[in-house]
Every structure is written in structure tokens, then in C-alpha cells.
Structure 1
Amino acid sequence: MPFFRKRKEEAAKPPTKAGAAISGVISGSLGESVDAAWQGLKNVGEAFRDPKRVGVRAADQPTVQWLRQLASLLSKLGAEILRSGENTGDTEKQIVDIAARYGVRARCFALPSGIFVRVETVSGDPGSELDFAPVSDGGMQLNQVEALQKLLLRMRAEAVPFDQVRDALRAEQAMPRRFQPTAVVSGYALLTLALGLLQHPTLNAAIGYAVLGAAVGVLQYLVKRHLPPLLTLLPVAASILVTALALRFAGPLLHEEPGNLFIPPLIGFLPGAALTLGAIELATDSALSGLSRLAGAVNILLMLALGILVATDTVHAHPVGKPVPDTLGAWIGWAAAALLAIGFTINSDAPNRSLTWLIAALLATRVVQTAGTLVGGQVLGAFVAGMGLPLTASWIGKRAGIPDQVIFLPAFWMLVPGAHGLSGVQQLLVNHSPAGWQTLLNVMITVVAIALGVLAGASLRRTTRLEVLPVEQATG
């Protein structure tokens, strides 16, 4: 019987490294000794930590022109990966793997502002070619991130013709917004409302968050559409606008401290992700990239604080009435996480089918963070939540066919403490309060905890690396 014969042959095959490791854990735990169980656990860790290596056939006598085109293509691809929010170390690994799929070796040097790529053959003949591509201004919409990730998966699986890659990159960069400007502004207001409710959940404050968030959303749209040269000054203008409105109207009318109202509307400018990516890059020996990101993040915080300082010095604050007691329960934090997912879907053009998974990912991240905080405090909560992010995004990606980054970026963004960083700078520059130093110190400790958690979680995923081998040794 062929079927049973095949099953016997499969049963006779030696187990994989991971399978043998797990068998060692089971056998050691059940009956042999603690040493055997410990060795089995170590083998499991090694099996899932070490990337799987797949050899690829070396390119057959490539020309100088072909190498030059490939270097140019890979540098442009790397710039798009960086623009999507990936850290420099992972960007370099992806470019090296894709170059291997074309049968050549690549060396990369990535910075947040651009990437150098050098490609060369295994034999060194006809030499090597170097190219550089800058990272264009502005982040990506989530539907663009999805298109880019699908292209990267295809390029890892096969040597895609250069023309098709160029066409795919042009199509991704030209993707229009799926929602009308009114919806985009509403999405930004939802993001503001969600962040505000996570920090200061009162009913009156929620009204202020929504109105001020809509005001910043309109300002963003007008500047991007009609005054692009002023984009650099947009953080200052936005912080002046919301601070002035909070001092003059929102605080007195809503009986809320203005300081509780004007930070959440600046959600689109808060550099929490840049702070955490910088910490990740510093931890992975990408010191130049990490310091560059941290310097850029501090610059944004100072620009926002400058706007707050200008507004507080020029606008006469009306007295705030009697504070309204907190009328919202503990459930509001979970509702805010769901609102955050909806706001991201609208404001950042996430794919429609990802909304349910985004809500699930954000709620799962909040569950893990809350549990960790209850057990060991804020730092442990940040660490375990960061560790869960790559694993959650990877699991959803495999189950739902949604690229990891589409899920990872919003959840990561919810976790990073950019608002607290701005609060610390505001306390120092505006209120002249020494407590600002303690706030900033807590922010940096939390950022490091998240960064280490993300690195730990990413190391638990089994990855596959491509490498160029001589023809007789290649397997892929």
C-alpha cells in the first residue's frame, strides 16, 4: 500500500532539530533527570533562536550594468522599508536576503535618512556596485505598508524582474487615500479621543479631546494640501493652536485643567515610536542610527514645547471652574483601545479587513501590559507588552494574511510613551517644575523596557535567512 509505505518512511526519518529538542524536554521531564530536561530546554531555545539558513544559487556571470541596476533597485527598496517604520538593522537584513535571492551578496549601511547598498558576486568578478537612496519625507499609510510587505515577501521567494519591482514601488508610492478629508479629520479626532481617555478619562475632557483633535486634523490637512513648505513648522503651529484654545475656551467651559487637554491632540507629532526605535538600534549596535533617531525625537519634543510656551505666554488663561469628578469607569480604557484601532484604520488608511484584528491586537497588548503592571510595576508591564508585540503581529499575519507591520505599528504606537515625554518637557519649560526631570527619567526607562521587550519577542520568532552558495551547494 503506497500510502502506508509513505507514512512508514516519514516515521523513520530523523526528527528535526526543534523536534528532537522538544522530545528531549518531554523525556527528560517525565522520567530521566533534571539535567536532561534542562538540556532539552536549551536545545529548544537554540532551535527557535537560530535562523534557518537557505542557500541560493549564485548569479551566473552578471554584467556590470545588471549589478548597477540591482544596487539602485535595492537602495530604493531599502529607503521604502525605512519609511514604513522599520528599524535600520532589520532593514539591512531584508536587503541582504533579497540580494541573495538574486544570487549576489550585499552589504548595507542604513540610517534613518537613507541607505547605502553595495552588491557583489560570489567570485568578485566583475566587481561590485554601490548606490544610495534617501528616505523621502512623510510616513506611510498602512495600506502602503501592506503593499510594500507583500512585495518584500514575493522578492524573498523569487527573483522578481527589475521592471516589475519598479512598477510595484511606483504603484505603492502613488496609492491614494481611501477616505475623504472629512473622514481623515474624524479619524484624527478619534485618535486624540482614544489617547486622552487612556490618560485622563472624564466625560468633559472627552469633549475637549474630540474638538481639539478635529482642529489639529483640519490644520494638518490645510498645511499638507496648500502650504507644503510649512510642514516643518507644523508641530509648533499645532501646539500653539491647541494650547491657546485649551487656555482660552476648553478649560473654562469644560472645567478641566488645560494641561490635561492640549497634549492628546498633538498625538500625530509625538515621537514615542522614534524614541523606542532609537533605543532598539542602540541596543543592537546601530549607534549612529539610534542617536540620530533620539536626537530627532528630542527636537520634535522641543518644537512642541516651544509652541506650548509661546501660547502660555501670549494667551490670557481664564480661571478653571470647579473640577468635574471622574464619571467614567475602568472599562473606558478598553473602549479607548478599540477607538484607537478605528482611528488608525481611518486616519492611516489601514486595510478594511484588518480592523477586527487591529482591535484584537490592541486589546491583547493592553491585557498583557495591565497584567505585567499589576505583577511588577510599570516597567515590567512595558517589557512584557513589548515582548508580545512581534509574536502577536506574526501570529495574526500567518492566520489572517495581514502583513506583520500593519498590526505591529498601531499596537507599538499605543504602547510607547510619547505623551509622557512631552508632559515632562512641558513641566520643565513652561511650569518650571523639577518634577519634569522625574517624568522624563520614567519615560526613558519605559522606552528602554519596551525596546528590550520587542527585541526579546522578535528573537523568539523562527526566521529564515537567505545566503548565496556555490551552485553545487545551493538548496533554494
Structure 2
Amino acid sequence: MAFDWFERQASRLLKQSAEGDTVPTDDADARSILGMLESLGLVMIETGQATNDVEETLRAVAKVYSLDDARTVVLPTYVMLQSTTAGGEVRIESARPGGGRLDQTGAVETLIGRALRKEVTPAEAMAEVARIRTATPRFGAVAALLGHVILTVGFGMVINPTIQAIWVYAVLGFGVGLLVLLARRFPGLSSTVPVIAAFGVTLVTALLLVHVVGDAPLRIIAPPLVSFLPGLTLTIAAIELTNNQVIAGASRLVFGGAQLLLLTFGVFAATTLVGGLPTALPEPLLGQWAGLLGVALVAVGFTLFMSAPKGALVWIFLSLAVTYGAQALGAVAFGAGLSGFVGAVVVAPFTRLASHFRTSPPASVMSLACFWLLVPGALGFIGLSGAAQGGAASIQTLMTAGISVLSIALGAIVGISLSRDAGRLARLARRGVSRL
């Protein structure tokens, strides 16, 4: 028995020497690696990553640190880990509310890249995660408020408004931005702020603004509420469902639907109070050029409101422009319902290619901005709000929104697959050239 034990230890030490000392030496090492995986998984969830991406990343990091028996289960708010090497320890931890700023997202992706190259120890990785979680935003409250105003105007421009609607978007975006900042300071109010914002915006629009703007009321109401619209949540839910992450995708889909219902309730309460949304004489729209200007404004507003890393503005704008252009071509070729598929297909290849440039932010920073621009949540909000008022045309809008969410998710999956396959082919080509 003693001989067998010494033989196993000698074999393990020889294996460590051959692999560059990558195997955990004891339970303590394995537990520290498990703790690192837990920290990385939680902070990835908090920055809005799909659960299938989190699981795949954690398995890759565990393999790099030779904790091959690590088992992972990731849900939208929980991470569960278990390892026999770590003495059979089971870790179950919930993610913290909040997070999701672009500077945090970029820092997390950078840290994961270092972990995949084994450039950090588990203790250093956990310390970096703690720093990322508690880091102050790059921009203060005033800049974030200005960013929300610009973001609102930008999204309003993307949907081709009337010229009178621009200043209205700015005013409403300022009011809703104040509520968003208040919810950040007092998290207990976060569940009620969407209802209050939707109620206030609808009430002001119905009583004062709709006749001034000369546009459909719901097209005035939707852009100021963009920070509450669950377009990204619904898209990630669809991605998870198409990747067989049934529990995660279904729960996230319910959560996104609940967010839409909260906003719709605010609209419905306000319209009930004033006796319905009035209609106004239509005014001429700005034209297709408004969308191009809107993309630039969205890039600036997104950078300020979501606290993007330094040097990210130009790359965010380029990513948004490429996505918007692809979506516009898709609308011409396949119709509005499938335009999101074409737009989403180009996101992953372009952002991964752009991330190789020295001045660019991580790919996830650019891709998150792109998925915000695709905004299936705005279509769903308009359709659901109109359906609550008995509008037949809005039912068609709601169905289009559902198709858009699915098409965007499928486009994202295709784009990710294409970029990964291209990366594998490039690595194989480099290996082939090096052997010549």
C-alpha cells in the first residue's frame, strides 16, 4: 500500500514536470482553482454573458489549470461547481445584482484571456474580480445622465422620427435618466422605476406632446424607455434556448417578458387615466439619413451611459455602423422580420476581428452595443402596448418582434460559429506554414 502511494506521487510529480507544473498539487490548490472558477463565473453572469458561454469558458479555464474533473452548472443568477480533486467540494453561489457596465465587461474579458493563457494565479484572478466588482464608473452621474439623453435621441433618430420629435426625445430622456440614476442609488426601487417611467412618459406624451410631434404616440414613448427595454435579455434568452440551455433560457425569457409587462402596465395605466392615446396629424419624417446620424449618437450615448473603456468610442461606432448597414441590407433583401438575422451574423466576426487591433476594446464591449442597437425589445414594447389598447396592427408588430428576437439569436449563433471556424482555420494555416 505504501509503495503504491509513493508510486502514485512520483508519477504525479513526473507528470507535473513534463507539463510545466500545471497539475494541482493538493486539495488546497484544487480548491483555490475552484474558487477562481466560481468568481469568474459569477462576474461573467453579472456582466450579461449567456450561460452557455459561461459554462464553455469555465471548462476551458479549468482545463488550462488541469482541474479536468470540475463540473459546472450555470444559471442566470447562480453558479454551481464541484470537483473530486478538491475533496469533492461543492460550491453554490448567487450573482450580485447590478453590474454590466462596459468597463467591467471589458475588464472581465481581459482577465479571462489572461486566465486562458495561465498568466494569473487563482488568488490573483479572484483579487482582480473583486476589484472589477467594486470599481467606480469611468464617468460620473452627470455624464451618465447626458449619455442617456443622447442615447434616447439616437434611438429616436434610428426609427426615423419627425423633426419636432428630437427635442421631445431629449426632454423625456433627461427625465427618465434621472429615474435610472435614482434606481442605481436605491436598488430597492429598481422594480418600480420602469412602471413609473412608462406612466410618466405616456402621461406627458398624451396630454402635451403628441400633437406637437405629429407622430404615432408609441413611437414617441419607446425611445426614452430604451434603458428599460429588455432587448438584450430577450436575445440572450433565445440564444440560450437554441443552445439547449432550457432552464436558463426559459427563466430569462420570463424575466424579459415581465420587464415588458411592467412597462406596458405603466403605459396602460396612463392611457386609461387620460381616456386613450390621441392621434395627431402626421408630419413628414426626416428620412433615411436620420438613421445614420442616430447610429453616431447611440455610440456616444452608449459610451457615456454604460461607461465604456478608454478608446472604445470609435470602435463602438464602427461596430454599430457595420451592424446597422447589414441590418438595412437584410431589410431590403429579406424584409424587416429577418433583417435582424443579417445584422446579428456580422456582429461576432467583425468584433473579433476588430479586437485584434491594439487600440480596440474587447470584443464583448462592441458586441453588447450592437445587440442594443438591434432592439427587438422596442418592437415588443410597441406591439404589447398597442395590444393592451386593442390595436389589431400592434398584434402583427408583436409577432414581428418575436420573429426578430429569434432571428437575431440565430444570427448571433451563426456569426459566432463562423468566427470560431475562421479562427481554427487561421491557426491550422499558421501551423502548416510553420512546418514548411
TM interval, shorter chain, is 0.7 to 0.9
Partner residue in 1 for 2:234: 275
Letter in 2 for 1:100: K
CA contact (8 A) 1:272 1:413 kept: yes
Change (3 A) 1:415 1:95: same
1:70 maps to 2:33: yes
- What is the CA-CA distance between 1:461 and the residue it aligns to? 2.0
Larger RCO, structures 1/2 (Cα 8 Å, 6+ apart): 1
The TM-score normalised by the length of structure 1 is 0.80
Partner residue in 2 for 1:259: 218
Partner residue in 2 for 1:439: 397
CA contact (8 A) 1:67 1:120 kept: no
The TM-score normalised by the length of structure 2 is 0.87
1:198 maps to 2:198: no
- What is the CA-CA distance between 1:401 and the residue it aligns to? 4.3
**Aligned residue among 186, 193, 198 for 2:146:** 186
1:99 maps to 2:57: no
Q: Deviations over 1:19-55 (max 9, x none)?
A: xxxxxxxxxxxxxxxxxxxxxxxxxxxxxxxxxxxx9
Q: Deviations over 1:330-363 (max 9, x none)?
A: 2111110111000011101112311111111111
Q: Deviations over 1:279-303 (max 9, x none)?
A: 1111111111110111001100100
Partner residue in 1 for 2:371: 412
Letter in 2 for 1:369: Q
Partner residue in 2 for 1:150: 110
- Distance in 2 (CA, whole Å) between partners of 1:257 and 1:455 is 34
- What is the CA-CA distance between 1:107 and the residue it aligns to? 1.7
- Distance in 1 (CA, whole Å) between partners of 2:90 and 2:20 is 22
Count of matched residue positions in the alignment of Structure 1 and Structure 2: 404
Partner residue in 1 for 2:5: none
- Distance in 2 (CA, whole Å) between partners of 1:401 and 1:207 is 33
1:217 maps to 2:177: yes
Change (3 A) 1:181 1:401: closer
Partner residue in 1 for 2:253: 294
- 3-state SS of 1:392 partner: helix
Partner residue in 2 for 1:352: 310
Partner residue in 2 for 1:334: 292
1:118 maps to 2:76: no
- Distance in 2 (CA, whole Å) between partners of 1:58 and 1:373 is 54
Letter in 2 for 1:201: P
1:310 maps to 2:269: yes
CA contact (8 A) 1:83 1:140 kept: yes
Partner residue in 2 for 1:167: 127
- What is the CA-CA distance between 1:321 and the residue it aligns to? 5.7
Partner residue in 1 for 2:386: 427
- Distance in 2 (CA, whole Å) between partners of 1:378 and 1:137 is 35
CA contact (8 A) 2:338 2:403 kept: no
RMSD of aligned Cα (Å) = 2.2
1:234 maps to 2:193: yes
- Distance in 2 (CA, whole Å) between partners of 1:289 and 1:403 is 25
- 3-state SS of 1:178 partner: coil
CA contact (8 A) 2:311 2:360 kept: no
Larger radius of gyration: 1
Change (3 A) 1:206 1:401: closer
1:461 maps to 2:415: no
Letter in 1 for 2:370: A
Query: Which sections of structure 2, spanning at least 5 residues, go unmatched?
Result: 1-17, 425-436
- What is the CA-CA distance between 1:61 and the residue it aligns to? 5.6
Q: How does 1:31-110 map to 2 (within 5 A)?
A: 59-60=22-23, 62-105=25-68, 106-110=70-74
Q: Deviations over 1:287-323 (max 9, x none)?
A: 1111011100110010000111111122467966643
Letter in 1 for 2:41: G
- Distance in 2 (CA, whole Å) between partners of 1:441 and 1:172 is 39
